[in-house]
């Protein structure tokens, strides 16, 4: 049997990536970048499509970053499907995939601590200690290697997007951060690499998370913020397979909780839910 050879260039070493990017730069080509942890779905591919449309060269990374996992089992069980991922990215026109081993990214432990103000004290930051510090460690390393003009991040991870925008400003990275909308399954569940880990019965019940958020937007004119927060938690928790870890309505730039619909011109509702053993997040815009 003839093995299918990939057109996309797959590199494991940062030096090779940096050299290739320098070549592209000399040719005056713009570089777009899509960082991922693999186990790709339509959400990731939507980022790649946008990246490919906007830039001469589209670079992706596939790296399950150990420093952003606060739960050892989550890291161990995180799906790894490299061959299928490479084929998917290639079919979207991705030019280069950087897929390093852990030692390549962390030849020695990364001791850097990122000061993120309140951004990592709330919601995911409060429930996953060290998570955003790990995200900053890996994203700054990846930015330093790839040095893209534009980098694409999903609004599915709304808090992560806020953190990345913040560090880009803090460190003056000459990189434009491009937010991309949440892609959902036909039944409304936000796509996630972790969805494939859900037991069938839990997968069947999980869309209650998004249907609750959609309904919450409709209820906005009838309930105050506090009542609506309660309503969302009760709705999700009424299902025997789901347990809300938090739901909050926050300012879309500070991520601070609000208690009044007039508190800000941008309000997002963010939720984290335990669906059996799997933790899912989602969010919805109210204003």
**Least spacing, CB of residue 46 vs ligand AMP, in Å:** 6
Question: Tokens 């609004």, residue?
Answer: 155
Does 213 sit near ligand AMP (CB under 6 A)?
A: no
Does 235 sit near ligand AMP (CB under 6 A)?
A: no
Does 69 sit near ligand AMP (CB under 6 A)?
A: no
Is 127 one of the catalytic residues? no
- Burial, 127: exposed, middle or buried (Cβ in 10 Å; 0-12, 13-18, 19+)? middle
CB burial readout 23-33, b (16+ within 10 A) else e: ebeeeeeebbb
| Whole-angstrom distance, CA of residue 138 vs CA of residue 11 | 17
Does 148 sit near ligand AMP (CB under 6 A)?
A: no
DSSP 188-238: SPBP-GGGGGS-HHHHHHTTHHHHHHHHHHHHTTTS-HHHHHHHHHHHHHT
Does 183 sit near ligand AMP (CB under 6 A)?
A: yes
Work out which of 69, 153, 166, 286 binds ligand AMP, going by CB under 6 A. Answer: 153
- Select the span of 6-14, 81-89, 148-156, 205-213 touching ligand AMP (CB under 6 A): 148-156
**Pairing relation of β-strands 278-285 and 96-98?**
unpaired
**Least spacing, CB of residue 241 vs ligand AMP, in Å:** 21
| Whole-angstrom distance, CA of residue 247 vs CA of residue 113 | 27
With CB under 6 A as the rule, give the number of residues binding ligand AMP: 17
CA 164 to chain centre: 10
Catalytic residue among 13, 44, 127, 131: 44
Contact pattern from residue 8 through residue 47 relative to ligand AMP, giving x for each residue in contact according to CB under 6 A and a dash for the rest: ----------------------------xx-----xx-xx
Does 159 sit near ligand AMP (CB under 6 A)?
A: no
Which residues are designated catalytic?
Answer: 44
- The residues that touch ligand AMP, with contacts defined as CB under 6 A, are 36-37, 43-44, 46-47, 153-154, 156-157, 180, 182-183, 190-193
């Amino acid at each position: 049997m003839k093995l299918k050879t990939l057109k996309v260039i797959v590199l494991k070493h940062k030096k090779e990536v940096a050299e290739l990017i320098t070549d592209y730069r000399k040719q005056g080509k713009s570089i777009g970048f899509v960082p991922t942890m693999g186990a790709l779905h339509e959400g990731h591919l939507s980022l790649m499509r946008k990246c490919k449309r906007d830039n001469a060269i589209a670079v992706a990374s596939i790296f399950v970053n150990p420093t952003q996992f606060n739960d050892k089992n989550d890291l161990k069980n995180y799906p790894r499907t490299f061959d299928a991922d490479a084929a998917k990215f290639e079919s979207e026109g991705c030019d280069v995939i950087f897929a390093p081993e852990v030692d390549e990214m962390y030849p020695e432990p990364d001791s850097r601590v990122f000061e993120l103000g309140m951004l990592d004290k709330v919601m995911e930051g409060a429930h996953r200690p060290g998570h955003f510090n790990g995200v900053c460690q890996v994203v700054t390393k990846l930015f330093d290697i790839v040095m893209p003009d534009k980098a694409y991040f999903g609004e599915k991870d709304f808090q992560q997007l806020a953190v990345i925008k913040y560090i880009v400003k803090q460190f003056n990275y000459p990189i434009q951060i491009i937010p991309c909308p949440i892609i959902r399954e036909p039944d409304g569940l936000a796509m996630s690499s972790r969805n494939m880990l859900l037991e069938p019965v839990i997968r069947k019940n999980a869309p209650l998370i998004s249907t609750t958020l959609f309904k919450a937007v409709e209820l906005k004119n009838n309930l105050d913020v506090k009542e609506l927060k309660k309503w969302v938690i009760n709705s999700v928790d009424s299902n025997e397979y789901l347990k809300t870890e938090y739901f909050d309505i926050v300012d879309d730039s500070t991520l601070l909780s609000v208690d009044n619909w007039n508190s800000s011109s941008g309000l997002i509702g963010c939720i984290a839910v335990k669906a059996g053993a799997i933790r899912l997040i989602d969010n919805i815009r109210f204003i």
